[in-house]
């Protein structure tokens, strides 16, 4: 009995040690509050309406500084846009497409620019990192396509960051061009507060509060980072059900076989 | 051993020319096994299953992966997004790595608890440690492939360890890198070796099983099999028991794969490698943490205190030596352990030492994840000291002074007499 208790304690300890991870990069940063996300839990799913709103926030606000370079226009069909709508969205962007079908570039060697197509990557705001830094006082707005996976507690952190801008406390020395945000490591961030009430006018009539927009853009970025999430969890539930039944049967077989021994 | 005759004429034809059916019959059907093996004996076959899963998923990943610094990260993301069920294959491979180490760590501790490494199974144990070593290098090499921040900086830390080798260190590191820094040639080399190593492991597993089948499995009582009544054929008893174990294991493994696929991972590895930006904390995968803690535990002035070969051994070198020693010592464990009695069941003092050792390695794991400073470093040092104390001092001494409990007459006697041992077999 005693040994069994020890063993259970051991397994628990093992798991907590796995979970321990490194001290967060955000040492000393405020702990983000947990929000409810439709993608959480065993039955997590995408709320397509919310993702469309999130796309609106991205394209009208964040897209002026941040890329989502791993996402293609065609992917937007997965969040509920029709093929025609996707064509229209893509066509609004200009794609530097290289030589045209006849192999021509402009005379000065500049690439030919054409309207975007569904098979194009979502066009980035800057041609490269240097250009991005030059336009943002030396700071680099990171690509957002994997952001929720690339930060610990990704979705909650993002929401806390976007809604967490505050007046700096009197004793805090804020560097020039920086903004106070207790959720960012070091508490000052080069990005100015991107969201303000009614910063967008939602196509579906939802009231665009900062909190609402922040949740929508975060949900959109969760999708951008893990577009397979919904399919993965659905498949997982089926696989688990199968395995539980199958394992119970294997246990019965094992009991049956071993019963002969005693 | 006479070659049995098989009813099926095709089987008989093949077996007469290549006795593969007879071999399998001996190895996994009639193979005589102690009747009292408990569930801790399931982890060997589980590790074998995981190896096969890793090779299977790895070969599929390799079809879409590009080993070039400018494309590796994106090619993994392409697998995740555009390859049919690529996310599943990749998450199986990623979590499979962790599962492999969980299974093998339990397997190793099982061996320590029940004294499975003792005469005549020393070589079996040593080959096992070789497998463990090969697994660690395979996992390290594989972790570099997705070319994230931790891939890059982990590789930087680990390859630099080789620079402490006297005289040849620099050239060895440059050879590993294929240049003067970690770059495309390094990635290419690591990819090639990551593809190779699992097959080396496969061969080692084969030798491991060969040694196993020579003296057969040990058992929870740690006493020798005395006769037929102590044994049962592998099939159907242990095939049924192993199959049930596989079911439980798959629930655990696929639970992570489908519902928390990045649980064991580092968020930083979803940021593409950038030689110009060092992450705040460089941490290896969880399964290396105890060894990482030992690496960083050795104090800078260790060498001054001891004054041994100060020219060759720097503080960093001492850390690396301690880390390698912590694994290499396991190779000689069969000779460090002086007890005639195998199983901790009958060794009241060793029982406690064993669990203290387990706790010690877990503490080391915790400390490996923390920055090496202040209290963390102190605890890490104490735990490191205890690790070596256990292996080099306690294990040899306890075997000499311990008063062991009386061993049962035979396996079958213990099992039929009832009590807890009988249950463990069922
Ligand atoms: C002993 C068995 C093996 C172990 C322990 C192992 C371990 C690993 C690990 C830890 C990773 C990094 C996963 C990640 O974070 O993304 C990885 C990646 C990879 N492995 Fe393996 N591996 C094994 C066998 C193989 C085999 C046989 C192949 C076949 C060529 C293979 C091909 C790959 C490829 C292409 C990647 C990069 C893709 C990715 O990162 O997901 N592996 N491996």
Cβ <8 Å between B244 and A247? yes
Task: Classify burial at B38, counting beta carbons within 10 Å of its beta carbon; exposed 0-12, middle 13-18, buried 19 or more.
Answer: middle
Average pLDDT for chain A: 89
pLDDT tens per residue across span A197-235:
999 999 999 999 999 999 999 999 999 999 999 999 999
pLDDT at residue B42, as a whole number: 97
Catalytic-labelled residue, pool B231, B242, B266, B421? B242
Which pLDDT score is estimated for B167? 86
Regarding whether A245 and A154 lie in a shared domain, the answer is no
pLDDT value, residue A1: 54
Pair A174, A200 in one domain: yes
Query: What pLDDT, in 10s, does the model give residues A76-115?
Result: 999 999 999 999 999 999 998 777 666 666 666 677 788 9
Query: How many residues make up chain B in this entry?
Result: 426
**A5 inside 8 A of chain B by CB:** no
Q: What is the span of the domain harbouring residue A262?
A: 234-262
CB contact under 8 A, A17 and B365: yes
Cβ-contact B101, B301 below 8 angstroms:
no
Average pLDDT (B328-357) is: 97
Q: How many domains does chain A fold into?
A: 2
Residue A133 falls inside a structural domain: yes
pLDDT confidence of B415, banded at 50, 70, 90? Answer: confident
Confidence of residue B410 (pLDDT cuts 50, 70, 90): very high
Q: Which residue from B105, B142, B197 has its CB within 8 A of the most atoms of ligand 1, so it is best to mutate?
A: B142
Distance from A200 to chain B by nearest Cα, in Å? Answer: 29
- Pairs from A8-13 (Cβ < 8 Å, separation ≥ 24): A10/B355, A10/B358, A10/B359, A10/B362, A13/B359, A13/B362
Q: Is the same domain home to A148 and A60?
A: yes
A82 vs A79: CA distance, rounded Å: 9
What sign does the dihedral B390-B393-B396-B399 (CA atoms) show? negative
Q: Let me know if residue A196 belongs to a domain.
A: yes
Residues A191 and A257 in one domain: no
Task: Tell whether A14 is covered by a domain.
Answer: no
pTM of the model: 0.91
pLDDT at A133: 95
Same-domain pairing of A222 and A244: no
Residue B364 Cβ contacting ligand 1 at under 6 Å: no
pLDDT digits (tens, 9 = 90+) for A238-251: 999 999 999 999 99
pLDDT of the residue at A83? 97
Q: Which one-letter DSSP state was computed for residue B233?
A: E
Residue B8: count other Cβ atoms within 10 Å of its Cβ: 10
pLDDT at B314: 66
3-state class percentages of chain B: helix first, strand second, coil last, to nearest 5: 70, 0, 30
pLDDT digits (tens, 9 = 90+) for A16-45: 544 444 433 345 689 999 999 999 999 999
**Is A35 a domain residue?**
yes
Q: What are phi and psi of B148, to 5 degrees?
A: -90, 180
* A210 domain residue, yes or no: yes
CATH number at residue A211: 1.10.760.10
What pLDDT does residue B300 have? Answer: 61
Ligand 1, atom 31: closest residue by C-alpha: B58
Tell me what percent of the residues of chain B surpass a pLDDT of 70: 93
The tens digit of pLDDT for each residue in B73-121 reads 999 999 999 999 999 999 999 999 999 999 999 999 999 999 999 999 9
pLDDT (tens digit per residue) in B243-275: 999 999 999 999 999 999 999 999 999 999 999
**Region of poorest pLDDT, from B13-22, B84-93, B359-368:** B13-22
Cα B296 to Cα A39, B320, B362: the distances in Å are 40, 8, 16
A162 plus A50 within the same structural domain: yes
pLDDT at A186: 93
pLDDT of residue A24: 39
Share above pLDDT 70 across residues of chain A, in percent, rounded to a whole number: 84
Q: Are residues A246 and A221 in the same domain?
A: no
A49-68 average pLDDT score: 97
Cβ(B146) – ligand 1 distance below 6 Å: yes
Please check whether residue A22 lies inside any domain of the structure: no
- Tell me, letter by letter, the H, E, C secondary structure of chain A: CHHHHHHHHHHHHHHHHHHHCCCCCCCCCCCCCCCCCCCCCCCCCCCHHHHHHHHHHHHHCHHHCCCCCCCEHHHHHHHCCCHHHHHHHHHCCEEECCCCCCCCCCCCCCCCEEECCCCCECCCCCCCHHHHHHHCCCCCCCCCCCHHHHCCCHHHHHHHHHHCCCCCCCCCCCCCCCEECCCCCCCEECCCCCCCCCCCCCCCCCCCCHHHHHHHHHHHHHHHHCCCHHHHHHHHHHHHHHHHHHHHHHHHHHHHHHHCCC
């Amino acid at each position: 009995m005693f040994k069994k208790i020890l063993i259970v304690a051991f397994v628990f300890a093992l798991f907590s040690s796995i979970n321990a991870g490194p001290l967060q990069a955000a040492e000393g940063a405020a702990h983000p509050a947990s929000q409810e996300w439709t993608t959480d839990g065993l039955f997590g799913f995408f709320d397509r309406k919310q993702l469309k709103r999130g796309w609106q926030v991205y394209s009208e606000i964040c897209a002026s500084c941040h890329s989502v370079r791993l996402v293609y226009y065609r992917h937007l069909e997965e969040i509920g846009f029709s093929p025609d709508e996707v064509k229209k969205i893509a066509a609004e962007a200009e794609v530097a497409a290289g030589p045209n079908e006849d192999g021509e570039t402009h005379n000065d060697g500049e690439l030919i620019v054409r309207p975007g197509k569904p098979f194009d990557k979502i066009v980035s705001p800057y041609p490269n990192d240097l250009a991005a830094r030059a336009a943002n006082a030396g700071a680099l707005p990171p690509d957002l396509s994997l952001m929720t996976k690339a930060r610990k507690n990704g979705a909650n952190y993002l929401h806390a960051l976007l809604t967490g801008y505050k007046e700096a406390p009197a004793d805090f020395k804020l560097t020039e061009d920086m903004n106070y945000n207790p959720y960012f490591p070091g508490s000052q961030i080069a990005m100015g507060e991107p969201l303000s009430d009614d910063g967008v006018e939602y196509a579906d009539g939802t009231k665009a509060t900062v909190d609402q927009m922040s949740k929508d853009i975060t949900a959109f970025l969760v999708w951008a980072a893990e577009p397979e999430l919904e399919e993965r969890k659905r498949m997982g539930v089926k696989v688990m059900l199968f395995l539980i039944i199958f394992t119970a049967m294997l246990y019965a077989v094992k009991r049956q076989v071993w019963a002969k021994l005693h | 051993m006479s070659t049995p005759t098989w009813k099926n004429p095709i089987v008989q034809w093949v077996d007469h020319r290549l006795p593969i059916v007879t071999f399998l019959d001996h190895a996994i059907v009639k193979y005589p096994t102690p009747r009292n093996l408990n569930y801790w004996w399931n982890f060997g076959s589980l590790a074998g299953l995981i190896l096969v899963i890793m090779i299977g998923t790895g070969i599929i990943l390799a079809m879409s992966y590009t080993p070039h610094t400018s494309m590796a990260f994106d090619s993994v993301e392409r697998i995740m997004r555009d390859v049919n069920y690529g996310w599943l294959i990749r998450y199986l491979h990623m979590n499979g790595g962790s599962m492999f180490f969980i299974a093998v760590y339990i397997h190793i501790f099982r061996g320590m608890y029940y004294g499975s490494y003792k005469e005549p199974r020393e070589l079996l144990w040593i080959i096992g440690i070789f497998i463990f070593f090969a697994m660690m290098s395979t996992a390290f090499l594989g972790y570099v492939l997705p070319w994230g921040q931790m891939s890059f900086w982990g590789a930087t830390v680990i390859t630099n360890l080789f620079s402490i080798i006297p005289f040849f260190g620099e050239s060895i590191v440059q050879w590993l890198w294929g240049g003067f820094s970690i770059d495309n040639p390094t990635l290419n080399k690591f990819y090639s070796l990551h593809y190779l190593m699992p097959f080396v492991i496969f061969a080692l597993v084969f030798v491991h099983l060969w040694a196993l089948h020579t003296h057969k499995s040990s058992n929870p009582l740690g006493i020798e099999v005395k006769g037929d009544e102590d044994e049962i054929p592998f099939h159907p008893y242990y095939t049924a028991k192993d199959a049930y174990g596989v079911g439980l294991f798959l629930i655990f493994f696929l639970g992570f794969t489908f519902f928390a696929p990045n649980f064991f991972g580092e968020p930083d590895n979803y940021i593409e490698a950038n030689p110009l930006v060092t992450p705040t904390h460089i941490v290896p995968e969880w399964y290396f943490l105890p060894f990482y803690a030992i690496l960083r535990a050795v104090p800078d002035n260790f060498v001054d205190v001891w004054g041994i070969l100060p020219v060759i051994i720097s503080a960093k070198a001492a850390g690396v030596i301690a880390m390698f020693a912590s694994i290499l010592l396991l190779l000689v464990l069969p000779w460090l352990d002086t007890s005639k009695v195998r199983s901790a069941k009958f060794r009241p003092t060793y029982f406690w030492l064993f669990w203290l050792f387990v706790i010690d390695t877990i503490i080391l794991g915790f400390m490996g994840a923390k920055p090496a400073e202040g209290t963390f470093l102190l605890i890490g040092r104490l735990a490191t000291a205890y690790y070596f104390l256990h292996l080099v001092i306690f294990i040899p001494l306890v075997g000499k002074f311990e008063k062991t409990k009386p061993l049962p007459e035979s396996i079958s006697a213990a099992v039929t007499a009832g009590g807890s041992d009988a249950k463990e077999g069922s």
